[in-house]
Amino acid sequence: MSSESSPKPSLNLVPFVSVENMMETILDIGIGEMLTGIARYIEQDFTRWESFDKTPRVAAHSTRGVIELMPTSDGAEYAFKYVNGHPKNMREGLQTVTAFGVLADVDTGYPLLISEMTLLTALRTAAMSAVAAKYLAPEGAETMAIIGNGAQAEFQALAFRTLLGIDRLRLYDIDPAATEKCARNLAGQGFEITTCDSAEAAVEGAQILTTVTADKQYATILTDNMVGSGVHINAIGGDCPGKTELHRDILLRSDIFVEYPPQTRIEGEIQQLAADHPVTELWQVIAGQAEGRRNARQVTLFDSVGFAIEDFSALRYLRDQLARTGRYEMLDMIADPDDPRDLFGMVLRAEVKR
């Protein structure tokens, strides 16, 4: 995982991956390989979870949505992501979620990489879901229901196919056009796809239930009677205070796995439960310190809200691909005076050159 061959900042120049660069990177490497690579970096970073600085994301809420900063560091490198969540944007032709991120060197404080993270977050969220399902989903699972067929749905489907071999999809969205879009985009990708006219129909025969809706509200996407024994629920749509997707009764009979409890108790499905309701941290399962799925009848729930270490992993992965792809440009980001104490003199010298 060495970054020795990756481009280094040259004084004031920092590698920048634009949206166009990111799309070309995905096409160059292949989405399956990228999902696999990001998943591998996530698993490696989760096994050293205790070496990271951790804090719930810093959020600024409004009636329109939320803007958040997600920082973390392993002592050698530091990363943060700026991300928003504005469900009403879609009605205005705007993205519900947009993001960018920075990876920096702790010793100098200099940025090592600046990147768009709208696409990269979709990739890392899907990779994270598949990593969790690797430890929690029932053995031999073949069918996944995806309820909510918006911007995340295709990435989720491809991650589960690539990492777990899921090749049967049951799709439902309250907007039939979203389901049609999702089915169209996934045509020819190796799936057997069934479009459904209700959430109840979508979950029939599915061993994995993925909920990924956008509305910022308490909602009941899955009711208790819809969830049979032995299924794995991948709940990734509830990600802020006041937004949930599952009926509380489902939580009470599930074994719940989370990323970072102090954040999930504020933003996840478990905001519906008492503050001391038992949950298992997923990193402990990945590191072999806790059990994941124990038996065929167990209902497992990955109550995912996204955490900064996952973004750290994704940014590290991307940084380590730059020399391979060349899909970046160098930004003039850092002031570089001849004498570090003479910042004003740099301005004066620039005036002479005008």
Note the pLDDT tens digit of each residue in 223-271: 999 999 999 999 997 666 777 889 999 999 999 999 999 999 998 999 9
What pLDDT is recorded for position 238? 63
Supply the residues annotated as catalytic.
Answer: 239
* Cα distances (angstroms) measured from residue 88 to each of 21, 112, 215: 28, 34, 8
- Asked whether the predicted pLDDT for residue 10 surpasses 80, the reply is no
Q: What is the dihedral of CA 188, 189, 191, 195, to 10 degrees?
A: -70
Query: pLDDT for 179-235, tens place per residue?
Result: 999 999 999 999 999 999 999 999 999 999 999 986 655 678 899 999 999 999 999
Label residue 4 by pLDDT band (50, 70, 90). very low
Reference 51, options 277, 220, 209, 283; nearest CA is: 283
Beta carbons of 318 and 120 less than 8 angstroms apart: yes
pLDDT in tens, 167-177: 999 999 999 99
What is the percent of the chain with per-residue pLDDT over 90, rounded to a whole number?
82
pLDDT in the model for residue 8: 56
Instruction: Kindly report the length of the chain.
Output: 354
CB atoms within 10 A of CB 151: 19
pLDDT in tens, 145-167: 999 999 999 999 999 999 999 99
Domains and CATH numbers, the chain: 13-119+309-334 (3.30.1780.10), 133-306 (3.40.50.720)
At what angle are helices 31-47 and 19-29 packed, to 10 degrees? 100
Distance separating alpha carbons of residues 278 and 119, to the nearest angstrom: 33
What is the DSSP annotation of 90-137? Answer: GGGT--S--EEEEEEETTT--EEEEEE-HHHHHHHHHHHHHHHHHHHS
Amino acid in the structure at residue 154: E
Say whether pLDDT at 41 is over 80. Answer: yes
Q: Is the dihedral of CA 191, 154, 138, 39 positive or negative?
A: positive
Give pLDDT, residue 237: 77
Query: Token digits for 288?
Result: 């072999």
Distance in angstroms (rounded) separating the CA atoms of residues 120 and 102 = 12
Q: What is the pLDDT of residue 156?
A: 98
Which residue is it, tokens 């503050």?
Answer: 275
Q: How far is CA 114 from CA 12, 75, 168, in A?
A: 13, 19, 37
